[in-house]
Structure 1
Amino acid sequence: MTSTTVVRLLLAVPGLTAVGFGIQQFVVRTHPDVSDARELALWLGGAVVLHDGLLVPTVLLLGLLISRARRLCPILRGALLTGGCLTLIALPLLLRPGRPANPTVLPRDYWVSSSMALALTLAVAVPVAWVLKCRRSRRQRRAGR
């Protein structure tokens, strides 16, 4: 058995355990009938299709486009890719129509929360990129002497 196989098994066991626990909790707490199970399967299938058919290809395409920008340092490219992922994940909440009838369903202002997450991503990435660039230029100057 290779080390890669061992690592995969070590990662798969807790994941499958969590999935089993989630299914068990769903059945015990909701006592679903056949129509509920069909609706849940349809919803989960739709989530997989949207994730694998829309989100992943879009993020990969954006990552490819960002990686072509050689002048951007890897930290900033990662921040842009992270910001894109955050925006795609938050998009359904940002574009929801009006206010829900039950104010506790979506209680936050998601535009503010999304903007704060993007600002925090940039607030961390820009100084880190600047520090790494300064270190790299100092090393290049020392090597040139």
Structure 2
Amino acid sequence: MKSLRMTAGTAGVALMGVGAFLLMGVRDLADVLVWLGGAVVLHDVVIAPAVLLVGLLLVRGAARGPVRGALLVAGALTTVALPVLLRPGRTANSSVLPLDYPRNWLIALVAVAVVTALWLAVRGCGRGRRRPGG
């Protein structure tokens, strides 16, 4: 487990370095900082409390943690996708946003739900077995 944490931490620091490098090329840094601040506020004021409330009211027992995790991931995916989801119509330059982003966002949300359901199923099946010597 320690090696997994070290690997995840190293990858996170490397990605932060990539992000800092990419920020050096931004012309209007103030807009980026406003967007990042808005994302933090959206997460901390809207998404996280909503996830905790839904987890508290709708989910009981061991499933609460994975469901809350899935809701947080879905909220983060939605936050990242908001600019594209809220922008109506096509752009003048079709190469700017060449993919079907709303469809891909929905696919990502379905993938999160499926992985969560599989996780819960595997975890639930493992609890019914008796451990040897236990």
Identity, % of aligned pairs? 32
The worse-fitting range, judged by mean Cα deviation, of 13-22 and 71-80 is 13-22
Q: Normalising by structure 2, report the TM-score.
A: 0.70
The alpha-carbon deviation at position 18 of structure 1 amounts to 4.3
The alpha-carbon deviation at position 66 of structure 1 amounts to 3.4
2:101 to 100, 110, 119: 110
The one-letter code sitting in structure 1 at the alignment partner of 2:52 is L
Please say if residues 67 and 116 of structure 2, whose CA atoms lie closer than 8 Å, have aligned partners that are also in contact.
yes
Over aligned residues, Cα RMSD in angstroms?
Answer: 3.2
Please say if residues 62 and 81 of structure 1, whose CA atoms lie closer than 8 Å, have aligned partners that are also in contact.
no
Q: Normalising by structure 1, report the TM-score.
A: 0.66
**Count of matched residue pairs:** 122
Q: Gaps (5+ residues) in structure 2?
A: 1-5
The one-letter code sitting in structure 2 at the alignment partner of 1:118 is L
- Determine helix, strand or coil for the equivalent of 1:105: coil
- Determine helix, strand or coil for the equivalent of 2:129: helix
Q: Gaps (5+ residues) in structure 1?
A: 1-6, 28-35
Tell me what 1:70 maps to.
60
Question: Aligned equivalents of 1:20 and 1:84: distance in 2?
Answer: 24
Tell me what 2:111 maps to.
120
Distance change (3 Å), C-alpha of 1:22 and 1:66 = same
Question: Which stretches of structure 1, 4 residues or more, deviate above 6 A after TM superposition?
Answer: 10-13
Distance change (3 Å), C-alpha of 1:137 and 1:111 = same
The alpha-carbon deviation at position 134 of structure 1 amounts to 1.7
Distance change (3 Å), C-alpha of 1:43 and 1:98 = same
Larger radius of gyration: 1
